Structure 1
Amino acid sequence: MLTVPRRQAGLTALYLGVFATIWFSVPAADQPLRTLLIVASVAALGTAVVGAVVVARSRPEAGAVGDRASDRRYLIIVVAEFAAAGLGAALLAVLGRSAYAPVLVCAVVGAHFFPLTPLLRDPRLRLLGVAMCLVALAGLVTGLASAVVPGLVVGIGAGLLLWAYAVWTLATAPRPAG
């Protein structure tokens, strides 16, 4: 089974736990779904806190990601992701299709995991990327074919995927010695 270094697993859980919390807040939902989304948000935020604790208690491992060139590539990927998502959402708003902004953002987030895979040395990120793109597609199809708001499908799907991946990464991280 593939594992990532403990510190990297903590960072993954921290980031993805926060973003899962944000995705769970996207859909406007009635009760009881609204309550479930709030519970999921709190649980995802708890996962982020566990990730932060793991980072704080871990030392950088030998050969871990984090050199200047890797940091620069990471920053470029993330800036490109935010730019594409932001510009795309703005364009959709101008076109009067802002309900599809979560679909576009989810697809961009899914796509950004592909260049991150070799950089973070975690091939499992490809699975997350494919799954996020499929959630975006499901939101698009649902929005076009029914009265269900695309953000409901995408917010729940993306939140669950990011949260599950954060938990999976923590669960498979090597335990500290001693």
Structure 2
Amino acid sequence: MTGLLVGAVFGAVFVVVNAQSPLNTVTANLLRVVACLAAASVVAMWIMTARKERSVAGGPLFGRGYLIVVAAEVILLFGGIRVLAAWERPEQTNVAWVAFVVGVHFIALAPIWKDWRITVPGVVLTLLGAAGLVLASTAAVAWVPLISGVLSGVVLLTGSLTFGWRAVARPAKVA
């Protein structure tokens, strides 16, 4: 559940930061509110699951392999953004790069966590990031935050809500 909590928070951040023009103000604000409510729902599920199982420790999910993937992710995120700036790419390219790297990080974590279900959001985020990187070189650059940011956030929130609900609905582990 802790991984879902992180996914939901980052999903909400993707939506809140990137819901902007060319969307109208009402739509952007509605997306922000829904994203925050979805993240709050995952927080509530996290609390319920923690109480039910009496443990919120990450355990083997956050071991050495995880730390290596996250370290590589941080280097790629910040290094890539610096390279994009040096190449004088439009600012919107940054969100596409972030979505791409976050997607790849899910794919890399699947064999480490032995949970192939996370490749689904990983592949979708990678594709949304790649689409944004392509769009950033066109006249449609204004749509990159929606495609690579808002849609990536929706994917993270949907996945977190789905898997969170399944965790809450399953019986408690017997010690």
Report sequence identity in percent. Answer: 31
Q: How many pairs does the alignment contain?
A: 166
Contact 2:42/2:161 (8 A) holds in 1: no
Of 92-101 and 152-161, the range deviating more from structure 2: 92-101
What is the aligned partner in structure 2 of residue 19 from structure 1?
Answer: 10
Q: Could you tell me which residue of structure 1 aligns to residue 105 of structure 2? A: 112
Unpaired segments of 5 or more residues in structure 2?
none
146-155 or 75-84, which deviates more:
146-155
* In 1, Cα distance between equivalents of 2:131 and 2:140: 14
The runs of at least 4 aligned residues of structure 1 exceeding 4 Å deviation read: none
Equivalent runs, 1:66-77 vs 2, <5 Å: 66-67=59-60, 71-77=63-69
Does residue 130 of structure 2 align to residue 130 of structure 1? no
Measure how far apart 1:65 and its partner are. 7.0
Q: 1:52-108, CA deviations, whole angstroms, 9 ceiling, x for partnerless residues?
A: 3045312459xx97249x612111111210110111012212222132111111111
Question: Map of 1:26-175 to 2, 5 A cutoff?
Answer: 26-27=17-18, 28-29=20-21, 30-57=24-51, 58-59=53-54, 66-67=59-60, 71-97=63-89, 98-149=91-142, 150-173=144-167, 175=170
Q: 1:170 is matched by which residue type in structure 2?
A: G
Distance 2:50 2:119 in 1: 27
Q: Which runs of 5+ in 1 are unaligned?
A: 1-9
Give the match's secondary structure for 1:32.
Answer: helix
When normalised by structure 2's length, the TM-score is 0.82
Write out per-residue CA displacement over residues 3-27 of structure 1, whole angstroms, 9 at most, x where no aligned residue: xxxxxxx223211110111101232
CA distance in 1, matches of 2:65, 2:116: 17
How high is the TM-score relative to the length of structure 1?
Answer: 0.81
> Any idea what SS the aligned residue of 2:152 has?
helix
1:109 maps to amino acid? V
User: Structure 2 CA distance, aligned partners of 1:94 and 1:25?
Assistant: 27
